[in-house]
């Protein structure tokens, strides 16, 4: 089995077009088709419904897509790690984090970390919650940065994956300031911009929405990618209310583009560690993170 067959298949699963994927992969359509057929022959299963247009995945194809994505991710991550070692770029940590934390909390936290321990390279993979858990537990990453609320417990054994509370945030329901009065005239409920089913922030939003004082809502839009930034843009345009980390909407709240319309849900920002990856640099980073966390707690 050729590794490039997996990349071919994932491209096709994304584009649903042989011609487009062949162009993206830099091969002729006939060569691309032969490689996909070779993969199916190797697996002993049809991965595609070729009679439909655009093409779709068979049930076996949908199952194999998950396997192919994980295989490619792990192989590429390991290759990147080996290449970084070969370049001798110095100490490096590998970290997975929720998308929203990579744009709100992580940059400044890394700055503080480097002020304590000196230069250290970082490899960061923004992902959804479930993928982050997989990446941490399968051993490809040292740390995992996430939100936490006791209502949604983390599926991690504390003996193998200890954590530090490195910051605080809150989930807030926000909307464009001029919209609640308009919605009140139209009825008793507000339009909700919702995360996809199973989304971690979506689960926290359900907890927040159940708090006393939260408005009655109906779902007007679902973002299937569960990208908080995309949902925020919809709120700024006035399409409904949404639950977002306060750090993510700080600028919009400050300049009046958004307003808080419900009680907040406090959240911890946690750093989990894979204790099995006890390299010198990870021990050093963990000790520094613990010191920063203690200093933060004392300042509260």
pLDDT tens column, 125-180: 998 898 899 889 887 889 999 999 999 999 999 999 999 999 999 999 999 999 98
What is the per-residue pLDDT across 222-255, written as a single tens digit (0 to 9) for each? 877 667 888 999 999 999 999 999 999 999 999 9
- Whether 169-267 and 75-164+276-299 are alike in CATH topology: the answer is yes
Closest CA to 283 of 24, 151, 91: 91
Q: What is the pLDDT of residue 292?
A: 86
Could you confirm whether domain 3-72 is CATH 1.10.10.10?
yes
What is the per-residue pLDDT across 98-126, written as a single tens digit (0 to 9) for each? 999 999 999 999 999 999 988 888 889 99
Q: What is the CATH number of domain 75-164+276-299?
A: 3.40.190.10
Report which of residues 114 and 197 the model is more confident about: 114
Cis before residue 54, ω within 30 degrees of 0? yes
pLDDT band at 37 (very low <50, low <70, confident <90, very high): very high
pLDDT band at 300 (very low <50, low <70, confident <90, very high): low
Question: Alpha-carbon distance 93 to 241, whole Å?
Answer: 37
Q: What is the pTM of this model?
A: 0.69
Question: Alpha-carbon distance 173 to 194, whole Å?
Answer: 11
Q: What is the pLDDT of residue 120?
A: 84
CB 270, CB 129: distance < 8 Å: no
Quick check: 88 pLDDT over 70? no
CA 269 vs CA 1, 67, 75: distances in Å: 42, 30, 29
Task: Look over the chain and give the mean of its residue pLDDT values, rounded to a whole number.
Answer: 88
CA Rg value for the chain: 23
The set of residues, in sequence order, having a beta carbon less than 8 Å from that of 226 and lying 6+ positions away, is 128, 195, 196, 199, 201, 202
pLDDT band at 185 (very low <50, low <70, confident <90, very high): confident
Closest CA to 113 of 265, 230, 282, 278: 282
Question: Alpha-carbon distance 184 to 237, whole Å?
Answer: 18
**Where are the extended beta strands (E) located within the chain?**
48-49, 56-57, 92-98, 121-127, 143-148, 163-175, 190-195, 217-223, 242-245, 259-260, 265-273
CATH superfamily of 169-267: Periplasmic binding protein-like II (3.40.190.10)
Q: Which two tokens stand for residue 14?
A: 């994304």
Query: For the residues 185-204, what does the mean pLDDT come to?
Result: 87
Q: What is the pLDDT of residue 79?
A: 78
pLDDT over 70, % of the chain: 95
Residue entry with tokens 């909407």: 249
pLDDT band at 81 (very low <50, low <70, confident <90, very high): confident
Residue entry with tokens 């306060």: 246
Q: What is the pLDDT of residue 299?
A: 56
pLDDT over 90, % of the chain: 50
C-alpha of 142 from chain center? 16
The dihedral built from the CA positions of residue 57, 63, 68 and 70, taken in this order, carries a sign that is positive
Q: Domain map of the chain by residue range?
A: 3-72, 75-164+276-299, 169-267
């Amino acid at each position: 089995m050729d590794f490039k067959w997996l990349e071919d298949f994932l491209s096709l699963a994304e584009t649903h077009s042989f011609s487009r994927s062949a162009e993206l992969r830099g091969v002729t359509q006939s060569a691309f088709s032969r490689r996909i057929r070779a993969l199916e022959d190797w697996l002993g299963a049809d991965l595609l419904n070729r009679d439909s247009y655009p093409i779709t995945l068979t049930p076996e194809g949908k199952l194999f897509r998950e396997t192919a994505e994980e295989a490619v991710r792990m192989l590429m991550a390991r290759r990147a790690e080996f290449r970084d070692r070969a370049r001798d770029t110095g100490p490096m940590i590998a970290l997975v984090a929720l998308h929203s934390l990579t744009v709100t909390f992580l940059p400044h936290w890394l700055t503080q970390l480097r002020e304590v321990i000196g230069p250290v390279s970082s490899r960061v993979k923004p992902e959804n919650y479930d993928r982050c858990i997989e990446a941490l537990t399968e051993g490809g990453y040292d740390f995992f940065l996430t939100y936490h609320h006791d209502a949604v417990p983390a599926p991690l054994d504390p003996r193998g994956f200890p954590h530090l509370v490195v910051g605080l945030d809150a989930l807030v329901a926000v909307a464009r300031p001029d919209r609640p009065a308009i919605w009140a005239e139209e009825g008793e409920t507000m339009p909700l911009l919702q995360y996809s089913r199973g989304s971690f922030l979506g689960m926290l939003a359900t907890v927040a929405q159940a708090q006393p004082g939260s408005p009655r809502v109906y779902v007007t839009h679902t973002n299937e990618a569960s990208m908080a930034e995309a949902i925020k843009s919809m709120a700024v345009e006035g399409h409904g209310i949404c639950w977002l980390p306060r750090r993510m909407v700080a600028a919009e709240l400050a300049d009046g583009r958004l307003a808080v319309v419900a009680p907040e849900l406090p959240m911890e920002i946690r750093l989990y560690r894979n204790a099995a990856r006890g390299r010198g640099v990870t021990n050093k980073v963990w000790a520094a993170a613990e010191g920063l966390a203690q200093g933060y707690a004392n300042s509260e």
